[in-house]
Structure 1
């Protein structure tokens, strides 16, 4: 009997059923599209942050460089010495200096202390360095005699210095030097899944092996390799130490973390910073408890700055940030408003349909139907309307999400430059273009997608059922109040 009445009512009231289902479908489709776009925004933001924040890293621990006290000696500036009197004039001379950059050094024991904190699954250290290399050559000048002959005399001292004996002056000669700098990052090769190198993919060669903790090997960023015409198998020299290039890494988004990656021990040796790090990368046991882990580290490891991915996300601006705010703010409220309106319309239409079926329900009650059975019939019909609306809504929502993905609108993400927050870009500790990079703001372009998850589809089904139940509640309440006398009075 239940299904007989159900089929009959769906046939008799096609327009009303279509209106109810369409209203619910519109609200459900909007929820799917907004949820999918919000998910796409999150993935786009993760892609941007990944270039600044090692994949798998939940937070970083750094220590800002302390300003020198008044009257204290300032750190020595790097100096470069060359022999201008070298008899082999014309040969290239070069020297380089390796300096710790970005943050104040932390003792290696701090890494272990951070790793012992509650909620920390793993912690590894890294050392950010800047290499400044000066190379060039001196050229001796020619001594011009003052005897009026106009002829050339012997070679003079380089750089236009006066001759040591006799009259005359030196013409020509001088020095031709150039200054190059690049970033180097010492990474813990025993933890390949944590740290800044994880934001790049190896496109040629291989990455470090866990056994190469003190090996003279290097991984080069692809942009730096292209600029310097380096390939896998070549060697690079840093502070008179040669390193064999074992791999080329390409940043997956934005800038690379460094131009050159070395095993941590080798980097510490080059910088005369034995057992020191500038950044500690932390992975939490539970990503939902980052706040408590952050508080524990700040409390128990004094003087450090702890920055999470959420802190870094706050530094991302541009159209990506604006669109994300609209999707999560306006989009969410609009979806909720449409759903509420759709539920109310469905409920009112169902209640109105019940009022037009007074004689029918009154007669059924006179024949022995109880109020609960009549109410169940109304709720069942409304639930079917909701499921039809859910199916239509899912179809429309999937079509909308697919359209967004197919169009792939480009959004811009502006990353804060150096000095933001706790040091460097976004306050994250690290080298080069990665966490903590002290550089000008950079704009990245990211294509937006709208992935639809099973959770979103399940949410749509739940909303469809809820819409049917809401409508059924309106109509069922109305039907339960009907009396057989009303039907008999109308029949008469």
Structure 2
């Protein structure tokens, strides 16, 4: 009886039911859209942090760059040997550590022994500036002036018909190219942490644990494309010849490291024996990262401990702006629209009940108790709410799919959280005296919809139906059979 009556009443009042359902649907669709876009913002921010700093781990330990000493030379210098040939090719590499002051390798073990630390590995980041080209030697030529002039010679001097001027150098010059790239020395015995952990080898192979001091390298996909490197290609850094054994593709966005070599080789290139610039740390419990950070800072003075939360606070650009809008304006707008949708549904249901005075009065006269009348109204409202929920989920999924299909581009800028940020591509520049750089990436925004968001939408639909049904049912339960008789004209 309940089902038959419910179906008949909803079919009789299609327009009113559709208006209530659409009101709820719009509010639910907006909630789904805002939640999916916010989730996309969080994913984009994670991509920025991982790709710019290689922070696939929980935190990094670095040391701030010290101020340069007065009178010290800060500019890059290159020395070329002079030769007597008219054309001579020259090449020189300048290798400096990048990302703050170097740390003793022994600190890696000390950090790894701290309470709450699961693992710790060291890495050395270098900046290589390569200058190569050639000089062309000029040629000295003398010029002769015409005309006669008197010259006082020896006894019986005479007259000269011409004279030779001072020699002048003509031609010659120099043509040099400058190439700057980054090199990361990694601990090949544990590649789950450190700069290479956020990339995957797509061509060739990665390092083996036996290659701790081998002259082999893994290059990033973009750098390999620029230099036309393949597995088996060779190149030199400061006269040391390396063989490419693999090409790495970043898991997200673009890598800031061009070349990966074993840590010992990087220490030799950078003249930094038993030194590292960054210590990558993994905590035993991700919920205790703040406590582990405090422990390391307390027990190892002079170091800077940076977590992903610290880096997130430095993200700026359109990604940060959009994230703030989605978090604040978007969520408050969703709440406001939902409240309005619930109120409209409740008022429309209550208004519909007032127009059914004769119907409910007659049912009570026939013996229907108030609870049965209330149940009927609540049932109708629940069906309207579920229809609205279904429409809202469809609209929300369509909006999220549209955002993902369009993939609007957002820029993210991430500067240093302090002097000498040690993650790859971090705050300090490649050499002494350089200013802290600001890394910029372009991220395509997606809007993933999770099952939690769908469950939230269903819950909102049921809640909206219950609120509307409660108000309408309360009003219907107060009607008396006499009300039906008074409404008869």
Return the TM-score normalized by structure 2. 0.81
2:308 is the counterpart of 1:300: no
Counterpart CA distance in 2 for 1:135 and 1:404 is: 47
Query: For the residues of structure 2 that align with 1:401 and 1:383, how far apart are their CA atoms?
Result: 26
Matched with 2:409 is: 411
Q: 1:339 to 1:140 in 2, by over 3 A?
A: closer
Question: Residue 65 of structure 1 aligns with which residue?
Answer: 65
Q: For 1:291-330, list aligned pairs within 5 A.
A: 291-330=290-329
Residue-pair matches, total: 462
Which ranges of structure 1 fall in alignment gaps of 5 or more residues? 149-167
Gaps of 5+ in 2: 146-165, 430-435
Residues 1:489 and 1:292: Cα distance change in structure 2 (over 3 Å): farther
- 3-state SS, counterpart of residue 401 of structure 1: helix
> After the TM superposition, which residues 103-182 of structure 1 pair with which residues of structure 2 at under 5 Å, given as runs?
103-133=100-130, 178=176, 180-182=179-181
Q: Contact conserved, 1:141 with 1:170, CA < 8 A, in 2?
A: no
Contact 1:25 1:391 in 2 (8 A): yes
Q: Which residue of 2 aligns with 1:53?
A: 53
* Structure 1 vs Structure 2 CA RMSD: 3.6
Kindly tell me: are residues 379 and 302 of structure 1, through their superposed partners in 2, closer, same or farther at Cα, counting changes over 3 Å? farther
How far the C-alpha of 1:456 sits from its partner, in A, is: 1.5
- What is the alpha-carbon distance in structure 1 between the residues aligned to residue 406 and residue 137 of structure 2? 65
- 2:152 matched to which residue of 1? none
Partner of 2:33: 33
Contact 2:427 2:437 in 1 (8 A): no
d(CA) in 2 for partners of 1:206 and 1:52?
Answer: 23
User: Which residue of 2 is the match for residue 430 of structure 1?
Assistant: 423
Q: Which 10-residue stretch deviates more, 168-177 or 396-405? A: 168-177
What displacement does 1:36 show? 1.9
Contact 2:59 2:308 in 1 (8 A): yes
- CA deviations on 1:265-298 (whole Å, 9 max, x unpaired) are 2212333323321112233455455444433433
Separation in 2, partners of 1:274, 1:177: 35
Offset at 1:312? 2.6
Deviations 1:296-338 (Å, cap 9, x if unpaired)?
4333332222223333333333333322222222221211111
Moved more, 482-491 or 242-251: 482-491
Mean Cα deviation higher: 224-233 or 333-342 = 224-233
Structure 1 residues 147-171: Cα deviation after superposition (integer angstroms, max 9, x where no partner):
x9xxxxxxxxxxxxxxxxxxx9896
Per-residue deviation, residues 112-154 of structure 1 (Å, max 9, x unmatched) = 34334455443322111123445567777878899x9xxxxxx
Matches of 1:190 and 1:248, distance apart in 2: 19
1:12 aligns with 2:12: yes
Compute the displacement of 1:485 (Å). Answer: 5.2
Higher mean C-alpha deviation, range 177-186 or range 396-405: 177-186
The equivalent of 1:457 in structure 2 is 454
Kept in 2, the 8 Å contact 1:414–1:441? The answer is no
Instruction: Give distance in 2, aligned partners of 1:138 and 1:436.
Output: 36
Matched residue of 2:229: which SS?
coil
Shift of 1:255: 4.9
Please tell me whether the aligned partners of residues 103 and 275 of structure 2 are also in contact (alpha carbons under 8 angstroms). yes
Distance 1:191 1:21, change over 3 A: same
**2:244 matched to which residue of 1?**
245
Q: Aligned-pair distance for 1:185?
A: 0.8
Compared CA separation, residues 58 and 461, structure 1 to 2 (3 A): same
Which residue does 1:342 correspond to in 2? 341
- CA distance 1:285–1:375, shift in 2 (3 Å): farther
Q: For the Cα contact (< 8 Å) 2:417–2:427, is it kept in 1?
A: no
- Note if contact 2:428-2:437 (Cα within 8 Å) is conserved in structure 1: no
Q: 2:432 maps to what in 1? A: none
- In structure 1, the residue matched to 2:220 is 221
CA separation of 1:171/1:20 partners in 2, compared to 1, >3 Å: closer, same or farther? closer
- Deviation per residue, 1:63-94 (Å, 9 max, x gap): 1012257x7x858987666554x789966565
- 1:397 is displaced (CA, Å) by 1.5
Conserved 8 A contact 1:138-1:173: no
Assess if the C-alpha contact under 8 Å between 1:106 and 1:276 holds in 2.
yes
| Alpha-carbon distance in structure 2 between the residues aligned to 1:310 and 1:354 | 53
Secondary structure of the structure 2 residue equivalent to 1:207: coil
Question: Does the CA-based 8 Å contact 2:202-2:247 persist in structure 1?
Answer: yes
Q: Secondary structure at the match of 1:329?
A: helix
Is residue 268 of structure 1 aligned with residue 264 of structure 2?
A: no
Asked whether the equivalents of residues 236 and 243 of structure 1 are also in contact (C-alpha less than 8 Å), the reply is yes
Tell me if structure 2 keeps the 8 A contact 1:379–1:468.
yes
Aligned to 1:156: none
CA distance in 2, matches of 1:468, 1:21: 9
> Which residue in the other structure is 1:160 paired with?
none
Equivalent-residue separation in structure 2 for 1:472 and 1:487 (angstroms): 21
Aligned to 2:159: none
SS in 2 for 1:326: helix
Q: How far did residue 189 of structure 1 move? A: 2.1
Shifted more, 391-400 versus 219-228: the winner is 219-228
